[in-house]
Amino acid sequence: MGRITLDKVRKAFGEVEVIPPLDLTIEDGEFVVFVGPSGCGKSTLLRLIAGLEDVTAGQIRIDGEDATMVPPAKRGLAMVFQSYALYPHMSVRKNIAFPMKMAGIPQDEQNRRIEAAAKALNLTDYLDRRPGQLSGGQRQRVAIGRAIVREPAAFLFDEPLSNLDAALRHGMRLEISELHKRLDTTMIYVTHDQVEAMTMADKIVVLQGGVIEQVGSPMELYRAPRNIFVAGFIGSPKMNLLTGEEAAKRGAHTVGIRPEHVSISTTDGAWKGTVGVAEHLGSDTFLHVHREGATDPMTVRVDGEFSARHGDTVWLTAQEDQIHKFDADGLRIA
């Protein structure tokens, strides 16, 4: 079980309010990702749930019970830190055993769970090593092992992959998703990487300045961003945002068009432009096209085989039904 409810939770450090009163419900078994730029309060929010920070006002409930004043040790949550935070003076086995030792679980049961976790995480051969003798990926798995053995109500991940290299990051992303499917336990995951958020989450919470900008499934956020911030943050490469005449024509202050919703032609189209930088990914190419009379280049996704050279003249046409419209306050116009 692991239903977590935040009820008007507010956090201030002295005079500075980092999280204005905020409501959020995380359902049992959900994989929720807090995403936002650095300094948006996502880590603080996670630490409030963990109990590592005290809330200034409001209430946190775990499975219906008020946990606001409960110390972290008693909340029944497990956390994986960005720095892994393994105990350097203990072997891998002892690291994994530590939460069970604290919980007073009998030795036989401890051993059984350590073996099971080590097997699941490919750590069996490393149980007697110290964390200092492990690679980054192995340390991360030890940290996860330490979290799963105590069978927590929910897992909290604080940017757990940001210290890993790209290849390892992708592998661990899959492993964590797999783990979620297998354990079916609530997971709260903090990241600044929207790709991690999109690929792993059941539900994404987009934060900015301590305020929740939007909550929804990855595809909801992609299809119907509630405001310009979410529109720009979710999706890679970023959505193209146009103001002025093009927006006014469509009855909006700003319009947003994703790179994948623009078609390109060498003969005709709505906007004329010249090709700038081309980013080749193999399957796709992202072209930065300078539209006539516009300051910012427009990013366009084209097939990897599409050939265009720097300085070529091209024509762009947006798919009208895929254009997002926003008013002067940056809010979505339905």
Identify the H or E element spanning 146: helix 136-148
Stretch that binds other proteins, among 84-92, 117-125, 230-238, 309-317 (CB under 8 A): 84-92
Tell me the CA end-to-end span of the chain in Å, nearest whole number: 37
Give least dist CB 311 to other proteins, A.
51
CA distance 287 to 274: 10
Secondary structure of residue 72 in the 3-state scheme: helix
Give least dist CB 31 to other proteins, A.
19
- Say whether residue 87 binds other proteins (CB under 8 A): yes
Give least dist CB 99 to other proteins, A.
4
Give least dist CB 92 to other proteins, A.
14
| CA 268 distance to own-chain centroid | 39
Q: What per-residue string of b and e applies to 22-39 under the rule 16 or more CB within 10 Å gives b?
A: bebebeebbbbbbbbeee
- Restricting to residues 146-175, which ones interact with other proteins according to CB under 8 A? 146, 150, 156
- Residue closer to other proteins, measured from CB, 79 or 242: 79
- Say whether residue 200 binds other proteins (CB under 8 A): no
- Quote the strand ranges of the chain, DSSP E: 4-13, 16-26, 31-35, 57-62, 65-66, 77-80, 154-158, 186-191, 203-208, 211-216, 240-243, 254-257, 262-265, 271-280, 284-291, 298-303, 313-318, 324-326
Q: In this structure, are residues 259 and 333 in contact, taking their beta carbons and an 8 Å threshold?
A: no
Beta bridge partners of 300: 287
Q: In this structure, are residues 94 and 87 in contact, taking their beta carbons and an 8 Å threshold?
A: yes
- Say whether residue 13 binds other proteins (CB under 8 A): no
- Say whether residue 50 binds other proteins (CB under 8 A): yes
Binding mask 59-78 toward other proteins (x if CB under 8 A, else -) reads: ------------xxxx--xx
- Say whether residue 2 binds other proteins (CB under 8 A): no
- Say whether residue 102 binds other proteins (CB under 8 A): yes
How many residues touch other proteins (CB under 8 A)?
Answer: 25
Give least dist CB 71 to other proteins, A.
7
Which residue from 52, 70, 270, 323 is in contact with other proteins, where contact means CB under 8 A? 52
- Say whether residue 86 binds other proteins (CB under 8 A): yes
Which residue from 99, 225, 235, 256 is in contact with other proteins, where contact means CB under 8 A? 99
Q: Could you give the maximum distance between any two Cα atoms of the chain, in Å?
A: 75
- Say whether residue 89 binds other proteins (CB under 8 A): yes
Q: In this structure, are residues 35 and 206 in contact, taking their beta carbons and an 8 Å threshold?
A: yes
- Residue closer to other proteins, measured from CB, 102 or 174: 102
Give least dist CB 158 to other proteins, A.
9
Beta bridge partners of 33: 189, 204
Give least dist CB 87 to other proteins, A.
6
CA distance 109 to 91: 18
- Residue closer to other proteins, measured from CB, 64 or 71: 71
Interface residues toward other proteins, by CB under 8 A: 50-52, 71-74, 77-79, 81-83, 85-89, 98-99, 102-103, 146, 150, 156
